[in-house]
Amino acid sequence: MPSPFTEEHQQFRKTVRQFAEKELAPFIDEWEAAETFPNEVFKRAGELGILGAHYPEEVGGAGGDLWFSVAKSEELPRCGMAGVTMGLLVQADMATPVIADLGTKEQIAEFLTPAIRGEKIAALGVSEPNAGSDVAGIQTVARRDGDDYVINGAKTYITNGTRADFITLLAKTNPDAGAHGCSFFLVPTSTRGFQVSKKLKKIGNHSSDTAELSFDEMRIPKRYLLGEENMGFMYLMQNFQSERIIACTSACAGGGYMLEQAIAYGRDRKAFGKPIIKREYWQHKFVDLSAKLEAGRALSYKGADEYNQDKHIGGGQVSMDTVKTISLAKIFVGEMMTEVADQCLQFHGGAGYIEEYPIARQWRDQRLFRIGGGTTETLRYYVAKLMGL
């Protein structure tokens, strides 16, 4: 397909890259050790227009399209910290798009516009201790009580969870209806009954905070219901598609960055009398990995293009054909990224197993991709259904 990026996209890309390389990357060691990064990073990203480039001007964005998000997702990995990248992408592309699609003017003013500016931090509350990829199995319940909803339950693996100002929360409003009994709510974390149960310690993505949350008789007004009651599962499935596209494009860019760093290392590192990058075995290996990265990027772009057409030309609903393309992209990119990271680490030899080399962190961080946003196994099952198998 022709390049989807205009000169405006490329200028935006340059802004994101400078932000990642000059304002984030210098703090890798500090933020990875702290297992968090300053809240001011969200504010700075908002000031630069990074969080809202793809949102309409009437909600506080720049009026751009999905390709602005793609450009952002491809440049943020240059900061060298997948945790920071994920925190910012959750803010801009995972916890807030559903507000832009469904929110009332009041909800947009209270939650979305401040999030675009980086003044409020957002988190997406879907996964639970007993329900991950099986979203229909969530057990958090929101019951009507007069003009309020009272929410009880728990969420886990929540990025930005320890510091979020609000949660875009999925809960059961009709527990007997399975997937068709879920609803979305906007929950200020200052609400009585909300609690961060604990901060979770992860094997990778150390610079991001990940939390387990609990809700104990938490009462919110019905004006915080997002969209229609009992339509939350459908909204989530639509929201998942843009999330998965951005995850794929970000992962491909991160894989390309890994290859760049590995090749640079191989030019300097000598073994048996010459740079190891001059060994034919590794030259062929990097050619194969480059081909797979290009294939993953192309499939991801195809999904983005189909998504754009569905949302802006086809009436707003994402088609099953587009869902299939995006799911295939996530499956392929997940497997490919595991191979890229493993081979780049192997290329480093013993140095790849040492923390001071970036590949050690990148190898750990990329492993989340095959789990988050729907496991590879769940997506294969879903695509098999779409194929009539």
Give the active site residues.
243
The answer to whether 63 touches 17, Cβ cutoff 8 Å, is: no
Q: Which of 237, 243, 249, 376 is nearest to 320 (CA)?
A: 237
Dist. CA 359–CA 363, nearest whole Å: 6
Strands annotated E in the chain: 122-125, 141-145, 148-159, 166-172, 182-188, 194-199, 210-221, 225-226, 270-271, 274-275
Dist. CA 308–CA 198, nearest whole Å: 38
Dist. CA 349–CA 346, nearest whole Å: 5
Count the neighbouring beta carbons within 10 Å of the beta carbon of residue 364: 18
Residue 167: strand pairing partners: 123, 187
Dist. CA 207–CA 202, nearest whole Å: 10
